[in-house]
Amino acid sequence: MTADLAHLTDLIAGGGVAVLTGAGISTESGIPDYRGPSGVSRRHTPMTYQTFTEDAAARRRYWARSHVGWRTIARAAPNAGHRAVAQLQGYGLLAGIVTQNVDGLHQAGGAHGVNELHGNLDRVVCLDCRAVTARSVLDGRLWAANPGFDTRRVDAVNPDGDVSLADEAVAGFRTVDCAACGGTLKPDVVFFGEAVPRERVLAAFDLVDAARALLVLGSSLAVHSGRRFVTHAARRGIPVAIVNQGPTRADDRATVRVDAPLGACLTALARDVVALPRA
């Protein structure tokens, strides 16, 4: 790994780096990923957009489980990996940051201008009038509608803020509608089966096009949503560096590949980059 990290340091030191992050960068903050080594989440079936919009019972089940899980996401603190990315940005080495995560931890760790491809759990959108409100506001309304609801018993929280609850706990849960129009509320995140907003995708492609290198952090690249940017970079001859625990579906595209815990690896990377002599 030492040789790989040295190669990675040399690549990043040249600047102009576009960063793409996945759930693996947040596991050290206590948020498990879907496919990495953090385990429980790999048995989780995420909510799909079609189920959420078409099935009122599924929506109630989602909001009950999310009402429990969201507070764990909200309390999560940025880890060394998030802080290292912010440091690299502060050094002027990054062209920009694109994340597939919905936890807001890059911003909490000091990064700015983050393109949140899949949205953010901290916001709620009405599917009818499109009004966007803070999740904390909805949280207060759900508490008022469900006095005495137990949010303390959590075995594991998934990257989408969902948890497992017994059927009897879900059965009595009351959802609330949009305070502005009475419409259906949804977390302002992209569910499985839902398209990523076009403007975010185009902005991410523009970032990759303008970059000198693409650095992928904590993503297995198992789904097209993230892998397409790696494929695009490789086709354009833009070097791709991947740091992830475990294999990815784009390892064959990588110019540099590091398999290591992200917190320690990125901390060392930021330290080594800043220590290099400047011309």
> Which residues are documented as binding site for NAD(+)?
100-103, 218-220, 244-246, 262
102-125: burial string, b at 16+ Cβ within 10 Å, e else: bbbbbbebebeebbbbbbbbbbbb
Q: Token digits for 7? A: 């190669």
Q: What is the layout of strands, in order, in the sheet containing 185-189?
A: 132-134, 119-126, 185-189
Active-site residue identified among 44, 82, 118, 224:
118
Asked about 7 being catalytic, the answer comes back as no
Both tokens of 202, joined, read 């185009």
Q: Which of 26, 47, 53, 46 is nearest to 38 (CA)?
A: 26
| CA separation for the pair 178, 109 (Å, rounded) | 31
Could you tell me which residues come within 8 angstroms of residue 216 by beta carbon, excluding any fewer than 6 positions away?
Answer: 19, 20, 21, 22, 226, 230, 240, 241, 242, 243, 244, 248, 250
CB 128 within 8 A of CB 3: no
Decide: 104 and 120 in contact? Cβ < 8 Å: yes
Query: How many of the other CB atoms lie within 10 Å of CB of 212?
Result: 15
Burial grade of 47 (CB within 10 A; 0-12, 13-18, 19 or more): buried
Q: How would you class 31 by CB atoms within 10 Å of its CB: exposed for 0-12, middle for 13-18, buried for 19 or more?
A: buried
The two structure tokens encoding residue 129: 């009038």
Going by the annotation, the residues of the binding site for Zn(2+) are 126, 129, 178, 181
What amino acid positions are annotated as catalytic residues?
A: 118
